[in-house]
Structures are given as C-alpha cells and as structure tokens.
Structure 1
Amino acid sequence: MNISEKNINRIFNLFLFLIASMMIFRKPCTGLIILFATLNLLFIKKLKFTKKAISIGFIIAIPLLIEILFFWNNDSYFMGIKSIEKSISLLIFPLFILGNYQRVQFYKLLQFYSITTSGIVLFFFIRFIVFYPNMIDKYFLGIDLWEMGYAFSNSMGIHAPALNMHLSFVAIVNLYFIFDAFRQRKSAIIKSANFVIFSLSFFFVLFVNTRIALFNMLIGFVLVFYYEVIRKYKFKKVVGISAVGLVLLGSLFLLFLQKNPYMKEKYSSVTFAYMDKVGKLDAIKNPEIKVFNSFVTRVSIWKSAWELSLKNLPFGVGASDGKSELFKYYEQTNQHFLAKYEFPTHNQFLDFLLKYGFLGPMVVFLYVFTIGYLGFDIKNAIIIAFFFIFFTSNLTDDFLLRFDGIAFSGFWFSIFGSYWLQEKTIVYKEKLIL
C-alpha cells in the first residue's frame, strides 16, 4: 500500500486522538483499538524498535504475560481465556505505539484529549439534567447527595471511580495548558477558553465526588504548579500566580460545597466510621446504608483477601478464580454483607497476590512504578501526576481487572514511553553534536 509518510503520520495520530477521547466508553473504544491494530498490521514493516522501546513494551505487557504464564492455574480454561482477552490491549498498544514512537505528537494528543473529553462529559451532564430532572431536584434540595455522582456515572455507562480517575487526569492536563498558554503568551481568547475548559473539568470531578480522585487531582495540581511555575519563574511571580490560583480554585470549591453539604460529612464522619468493626460488618445495623462506601468496608475486604492469599501461596488461586474464591471465603468466614454484594479486592496489589502468589504484587509494582520512573527521569509533571493517580487508585481499587483501567493505563503508558524515547533521542543527538 503506497501511502506517504505524512499521511501515515496523520492517520496514526488521528487514531490515537480517537482512542484517547473514547476511552471512557468500552465498546466504541474497543472497536477503535481493533481498527488501530488492523491498520498497523498493514504497515508492520514501518515499525522500529530500539532496545529501550522493547524494555518498556515488555513492562507494559507484563500483566498480560503473567496471566499467560499462570494460565495452568485456572480451574476453568475458558474463563482463563476470557480473562486474557481483557488484557490484549496491553500487547497492542506497546507494539504499535512504541513501534511508531517517533510519530507520537505528545502535547497535541494531550490537548485534543483533554478538550474533547471535557466536551463529551459536558454533553452527558446536560443530558443528565434533561433526562433525570428528579435527580437534579434532589440535588438542589440536598436529598440523597451521596448517590448523585454514581447516578451520573451510571447514566454514561461507567463506574464512578473509573470515570473520576479519567476526569482527574483531564483536569490536571487542562491546568497544564493554562500555564502553557501564559508561557507562550497566547491570545486572551485562548487563555479564557483554557480556563473555562479547566473549570468544567474541575467541576466534574467534584460532581462525581469520589474521594481518591479528588485527592489525586489536588496532588496533580501541586505537581503541575511545581514543575511549570515554581521551577520556571522567579519568586514574586510564583507568589502572584499562587494567590490567583488559590482564589479561583477556592471559589469554585466553596461554591460547590454550598450546594453539596454532604461532602463535609462524607470526607469526615462517613469515611472513617465503625473502624472497630473490621471483619465484623454484619454486627452493624443496616450496613448497606451506614458503611457501603466507608473505609471500614475496604479494610474488611483487604483483610479477607490477605488471609485467603496466605492460604494459597506460592502460586495463588488463578486469574479467573480470584473473585469467586474471595466470595466463597466471605461465606466461610460468615461475612454475609460482603458475600451478598460480592465485593472484589479493591486493591490491585492484593488482587494479584491472591491470583498469582508472590510474583503478583511485584508485577503491579513494576508496571505502575515504571510510569513514575519515566516521568521523574524527564521531569514531566503530567506523567508524574498520571503515575500518582494510577498508583493511589489501585491502592483502593483494582483497575487492572477492568477495561477502563487496563486500556487507560496501557494506552497512556505507551504514549509516555514514546515521549520518553523522543526526549532521550534528542539528548543523544545533542551529545553527538557536542
């Protein structure tokens, strides 16, 4: 097929833009990933791998590789194959993105992704207002505020913590482009547009209102501010920008807090209630109402997963059997509330310990912390913020079990790896010139 390099670059980056923007929708994104892989197979001779690219690609694929390695440990081979199928993107992305790393337009991709995702979520927010007016009425009346974010996420067909993991990253990227617009002295119209988009993404994280995502977003803001302001401007300018930023963010936050007083309760008494009932949730009257989303429930799950993992060392229970074995253990230990709602591990390190034994947590550690290494090595705030988001999210959830965590991390890990390779190539060429 005779297509110019320029057109191949355009088609390649168009697919990256589309996949990134559709990442919160499983079926459309899966279709795009299949088309992306098919397209790249047509140009497979164009792939170029360095030793560093192969090393990064191996680490990205390692959650898939450990599933294949421990395939023999599944009780059902059919379910084992189904489990492997969910992780195929961890082979597709490093193969075809790192193999074309020189084509990746890092900052253009980020900007398109953050703007488009903010626009898509705005569309669904307007749709939510139109089609779920009863929920909006309850919101303004202060009734059942705890369910608002989950209802909105469900209307989009995605789990609230997963949606907010995406949105916190989008908000961080949008903040970066505000600073970038000022640094490049862009027009007032562009600066204003960047601020409006950022404000929307910040509001959406507050609206969905999951604790870890809000925490991650704020840490991400600090990282972007440190790398893009403190390290690049003089002290007086840093103080001025800090004051303006705190006033604007504080105003948005206080405005939201006035309309959602439950937030204060959620982040204090609700979160850490009944901590003396770890492993004994059935002793609480109406646990569905009182501790469904509380920290004590997470700790009770972790306690059970840890105990069951220790009983199945050194190789674990198998990739396809982790959930079912954990649910059985709830029943065996008379934890009927956990058994009724079939809570998964809610911790990726424990989940892999349960499935694969000793090797499992090491795989998660290598996968997640390599993202951090890439960011710290080239001092890139966006990559470091993503690492922090994905690391902390997997301490309280298990996103390498779900498409919205597997594809999300595998895609951006491959993009970050490509940008890291580009930066290393530039440094290498500069050294040769010197």
Structure 2
Amino acid sequence: MTISEKNFNKIVNGFLAVLAITMIFRKPCTLLIILFAVFNLVFIKKLNYSKQSLILVLLIASPLLLEIVMFWNNDSFSKGLKSLEKYSSLLVFSLFILGNYQRIQFLKILRFYSVITTGIIFFFFIRFIICYPELIYKYLKGNDLWEMGYEFSNSIGIHAPALNMHLAFVSISCLFFVFNSFRLHEKGLLKMGSILVFVLSFFFVLFVNTRMALFNVFVGFALVFFGEGIRKFNFEKVIGTLVVLIFVLGGILYIFVQNNPYMKEKYSSVTFAYMDKVGKLDEIENPEAKVFNSLVTRVSIWKSGWELAKKNILFGVGASDGKPELVKYYKQTNQHFLAKYEFPTHNQFLDFLIKFGILGPFVVLLYIFTIGYLGCSLKNTVVLSFFFLFFTSNLTDDFLLRFDGIAFSGLWLSIFGSYWLQQKVSVDKEQQEL
C-alpha cells in the first residue's frame, strides 16, 4: 500500500488530535488506539527512531515494563494479565508517535484539542440542562451543590476528578493560545474567539469543581502568564494583560461562588474537618455524609496503605492484588467505613509501593519527571503545567490505574517527546552549520 508523505502526515496528526479529544470517552478512544496501532503497523517502514527517541520509548513504557518484570508476583494469572493490558497504550503511543516524531505538529494538535474539547463539554453542558431539569432546578435553589460536578461528569460517563484533570489542561492550553493570538497579531475575531474559548474552559473547571484541578489550573495560569507574558511582551502589555486576566478570572470566580455557597464550605471546613479522627473514621456519626470526600479520609487511607506497604516493602503484594489486600487490611484493622466502600489508595506513589515494593514509586517518579524534564528543556509552559498537573493529581489520586490517566499521560508525553526531539534535531543542525 502506498500513500504520499503529505497525506500520511495529515492522517498521523489527525489521529493524534482525535485521540486527545476522545480521551474522556473510554470505548471510542480504545477503538481509535487500536486503529492507530494497525495503521502504523501497515506503514511500519515509515517509522524512524534515534537513540534519544528509543530512550524516551523506554521511559514512557516504564510502568508497563514494571508490570512485566513483576508479573510473577501476581496471585492470579488472569487478573495479572488484565492489569498488564491497561498499560498497553503506553507502548502503542511511545512506539508509534515517537517513531513519527518528525511529523508531529504539536501546536496544531494542542489548539485543535483545546478548542474542540471545550466545544464538546459545552454541548454536554447544554444537554445536562435540558435532560436533567430537576437537578438544575435543585442546584439553582442551592440544594446538594456538593454533587453538581459529579452528576455532570456521570452524565458524560467519566469520574469527576479525571474529567477535571483533562479540563484543567484544556483551560491552561486555551490561555496559552490567548497569549499566542496577541503575539502573532491575529485578527480581532480570532482573538475574541480565543478569549471566549478560554473563558468557557475555565467556567467548566469551576462547574465540575474538584479541589486539585482548581489548584492546578491557577498554577498553570501563573506558569503560562509569567512564561509567555513576561518573556515575550513589553512591561506595559504585561501589566495590562495581568489586570484584564485578574478581572476576567476574578469575575467568573466571584459570580460562581456567589451562586454556589457550598464552594466556600467545601474549601474550608469540609476539607479539613475531623482531622483528629485519622484512622478512626468509624467514631464519626454518619461518616458518609460528613467525611466521604474530606482530607481525613484520604489520610486514613494513606496511613493504612503505608502500614500494609511496610509489610511487603521489597516486592509488594502484586499488581492485581493491591486493592484487595488494602481492603483486607481495612477489615483486619476494624476500619469498617473504609472497607465498606473499598477505597483505593488515592496516591499513585503509595499504590505502586504496595503493589511492587520499593521499585514502584521510583518508576512513577521516573515516568512523571520525564514530563518535567521535557518541559524544562523546551522552556515550554504548557508542558511544565502538564507536569505539575499530573504530578500533584497523583499525590491525591491514582491516575496511573485508570484508562483516563494512563492513556492521557502516555499520549501527551509522547507528543511532548516528539516536539523535544524536533527541537533537538533543529539545534544540532544549527551547530553543524556553524
């Protein structure tokens, strides 16, 4: 089968853009990953690797390689195989994206992804208003506002923290393109379109309203502002932009908080309530209502997880046995609330420590800090923001257990790696010419 280089490039970049957009929809995205793999296998001769790209392949596939090395430690062959299968997308993305690294159009993919994803979430927001009027009416009355973001996420078919991790990255990317539109002196309509998409993306982060995503989006905004604004614009434009940005974000935040009084409670008393009950949640009357999403529950889980990990510190309990062993430990220590709801670790480093022993957290650090290294080397604020977002998200959750965390990070890490390789090749050529 033959295909022109121009058409091949378009198909590869089109695949990546659509994969990024559909990442919040597991089944269609899984099908697309399979099609992407088959397409690249058909045109396998077009793949090209350098020493640096092969090193990146190993780094991106490191969680999968760890699963393979430690496969012997699983009690169940079938469950171990199922756990292994979850990480297969890391191999697909690293091999086939980095094998096409010269063709990857990072900024075009990022822009298409951020605009279309915002549009899709806007569609689901309108659908939510139309299809769930009883929920909208309840929320407008100020009732059960704690569930609003979760109900909206459930209507799409994704867990709220995972959705908001995606939306935080979308919003940060949208702000980057606002700065980019001013730097490139784009026409008025294009600038206004970039600003409108950014405002909408930030609103959706607030609407889903998960704590880590909101924290990460503000850190990302700061990185983009100082990285793109101060480095590329004069002082007067920077100050003017800062005033406008504070006014826009502050206005949206103020209006949202005024209409969502639970938000003040959530970020103060609810989050830090009952911290004297760590490991003793059953002493709290009705813990489901009072501390289900509170910090004390996470800390109680981490305490139990650490105690279990210490007992199996060298090799862990096995990839397929991490959660069952943790739930068993809840029961052994009479933590009935945690056992009833079978809480996972909510910390990726601790999760891998329980499963794989001392090697586990090292692999997580290696995987995530590869993103940080690429961001620092490229001096790219979007990549650095993604690193901070994914690192902190995995401190309070375990996204390398879930499709929407594994595939999401693997896809973008491979795209970032391709962009880094392109810049490296460009620098090497300039040095040779000198």
* TM-score of the superposed pair, with normalisation by structure 2: 0.99
- Cα offsets for 1:167-193 (capped at 9, x unmatched): 000000000000100110101100111
Aligned amino acid, residue 123 of structure 2: F
Report the equivalent of 1:398.
398
What is the rounded CA distance, in whole Å, between the counterparts of 1:139 and 1:431 in structure 2? 61
What is the rounded CA distance, in whole Å, between the counterparts of 1:422 and 1:272 in structure 2? 46
* Partner secondary structure for residue 146 of structure 1: helix
What is the rounded CA distance, in whole Å, between the counterparts of 1:342 and 1:280 in structure 2? 16
- Give % identity: 68
Unaligned residue ranges in structure 1 (runs of 5+): none
Report the equivalent of 1:261.
261
- Cα offsets for 1:91-139 (capped at 9, x unmatched): 0000000000001010000000001110111111111101111111111
* Partner secondary structure for residue 143 of structure 1: coil
- Cα offsets for 1:52-84 (capped at 9, x unmatched): 101111000000000010000000010000001
Report the equivalent of 1:344.
344
1:32-431 equivalent positions in 2, closer than 5 A:
32-431=32-431
Deviation, 1:404, is 0.2
What is the rounded CA distance, in whole Å, between the counterparts of 2:195 and 2:140 in structure 1? 26
* Partner secondary structure for residue 22 of structure 1: helix
Aligned amino acid, residue 221 of structure 1: F
What is the rounded CA distance, in whole Å, between the counterparts of 2:128 and 2:145 in structure 1? 15
What is the rounded CA distance, in whole Å, between the counterparts of 1:232 and 1:105 in structure 2? 22
- Cα offsets for 1:194-229 (capped at 9, x unmatched): 111111110000000000000000000000001100
* Partner secondary structure for residue 316 of structure 1: coil
Aligned amino acid, residue 34 of structure 2: I
Deviation, 1:244, is 1.1
Aligned amino acid, residue 153 of structure 1: S
Deviation, 1:240, is 1.4
* Partner secondary structure for residue 93 of structure 1: helix
* Partner secondary structure for residue 321 of structure 1: helix
What is the rounded CA distance, in whole Å, between the counterparts of 1:397 and 1:91 in structure 2? 23
What is the rounded CA distance, in whole Å, between the counterparts of 1:243 and 1:47 in structure 2? 47
What is the rounded CA distance, in whole Å, between the counterparts of 2:234 and 2:176 in structure 1? 18
* Partner secondary structure for residue 346 of structure 2: coil
Aligned amino acid, residue 390 of structure 2: F
* Partner secondary structure for residue 23 of structure 2: coil
What is the rounded CA distance, in whole Å, between the counterparts of 1:354 and 1:400 in structure 2? 14
What is the rounded CA distance, in whole Å, between the counterparts of 2:160 and 2:85 in structure 1? 24
What is the rounded CA distance, in whole Å, between the counterparts of 2:191 and 2:390 in structure 1? 29
What is the rounded CA distance, in whole Å, between the counterparts of 2:165 and 2:178 in structure 1? 21
* Partner secondary structure for residue 320 of structure 2: coil
- Cα offsets for 1:311-344 (capped at 9, x unmatched): 0120000000000000000000000000000000
What is the rounded CA distance, in whole Å, between the counterparts of 2:240 and 2:181 in structure 1? 17
What is the rounded CA distance, in whole Å, between the counterparts of 1:173 and 1:62 in structure 2? 27
- Cα offsets for 1:250-290 (capped at 9, x unmatched): 01110111111110100000000000000000000000000
- Cα offsets for 1:339-378 (capped at 9, x unmatched): 0000000000000000000000000000001100000111
Aligned amino acid, residue 7 of structure 2: N
Aligned amino acid, residue 133 of structure 2: P
Deviation, 1:236, is 2.3
What is the rounded CA distance, in whole Å, between the counterparts of 1:165 and 1:20 in structure 2? 13
Report the equivalent of 1:21.
21
Unaligned residue ranges in structure 2 (runs of 5+): none
Deviation, 1:233, is 2.0
What is the rounded CA distance, in whole Å, between the counterparts of 1:240 and 1:195 in structure 2? 15
What is the rounded CA distance, in whole Å, between the counterparts of 1:50 and 1:33 in structure 2? 24
- Cα offsets for 1:118-165 (capped at 9, x unmatched): 011111111110111111111111000000000000000000000000
Aligned amino acid, residue 335 of structure 2: Q
* Partner secondary structure for residue 319 of structure 2: coil
What is the rounded CA distance, in whole Å, between the counterparts of 1:236 and 1:6 in structure 2? 43
What is the rounded CA distance, in whole Å, between the counterparts of 2:372 and 2:184 in structure 1? 27
